[in-house]
């Protein structure tokens, strides 16, 4: 989905967005699935996730904005070492010109779509945009104009409620240093 997009925005409450995950973090996330995945299936999913991240680093990278809830920064998938490496990775990525990482603090309170992961891929023309919702049974892809408008509004709310890029980076550094 993101390979042909010009811009991708994603919002998640309980874990770091897939395009920003380290392999160790992704591995621990997949290992927590129910029913349990086999070691081979976990490795295939991690490899796929790492391959998808190429859109951020290719010759003409996409623009990516990731809205990450404070909860996702504090849940230690894989333990302290894995989480510290993940937080450092987030900060490093946020220094790239095409990547913006924005933190939504606990203080923001309730927010639209808090219980689901949302990825919105903006195409060259708006009629080709796609919203993808994460769920326990797998991803759901939405293309209807009213659905797309709803999820653009969710992400616009996250934009307004989140810390600035620089403040987000400082906040992530603070959490990492407390681990």
What total number of domains does the chain contain?
Answer: 1
Specify if 56 maps to a domain. yes
Percent of the chain with pLDDT over 90: 84
Residue 135 confidence (pLDDT): 78
- pLDDT tens, 127-142? 899 999 987 777 899 9
CA 67 to chain centre: 7
Write out the residue range of the structural domain in which residue 106 sits.
Answer: 7-178
Specify if 27 maps to a domain. yes
Nearest to 129 by CA among 150, 113, 99, 107: 150
Residue 147, SS3 per DSSP: helix
Specify if 1 maps to a domain. no
pLDDT band, residue 111 (cuts 50/70/90): confident
Percent of the chain with pLDDT over 70: 100
**Cross-sheet strand order for the sheet of 140-142:** 99-104, 63-69, 7-12, 118-122, 130-133, 140-142
Please determine, for residue 49, whether its predicted confidence score (pLDDT) is greater than 90: yes
Specify if 60 maps to a domain. yes
CATH of the domain at 106: 3.30.870
Task: Say whether pTM exceeds 0.85.
Answer: yes
Specify if 2 maps to a domain. no
């Amino acid at each position: 989905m993101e390979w042909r997009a010009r811009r991708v925005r994603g919002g998640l409450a309980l874990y770091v967005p897939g395009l920003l995950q380290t392999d160790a973090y992704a591995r621990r996330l997949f290992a927590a699935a129910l029913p349990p995945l086999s070691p081979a299936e976990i490795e295939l999913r991690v490899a796929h996730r790492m391959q998808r991240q190429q859109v951020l680093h290719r010759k003409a990278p996409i623009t990516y904005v990731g809205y990450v809830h404070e909860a996702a920064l504090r849940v230690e998938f894989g333990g302290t070492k894995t989480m510290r490496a993940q937080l450092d990775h987030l900060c490093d990525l946020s220094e790239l010109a095409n990547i913006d990482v924005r933190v939504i603090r606990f203080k923001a309170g309730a927010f639209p779509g808090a219980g689901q992961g949302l990825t919105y891929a903006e195409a060259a023309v708006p009629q080709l945009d796609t919203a993808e919702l994460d769920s326990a049974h797998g991803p759901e892809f939405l293309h209807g104009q009213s659905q797309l408008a709803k999820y653009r509004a969710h992400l616009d709310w996250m934009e307004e409620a989140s810390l600035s890029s620089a403040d987000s980076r400082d906040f992530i550094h603070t959490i990492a240093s407390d681990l």
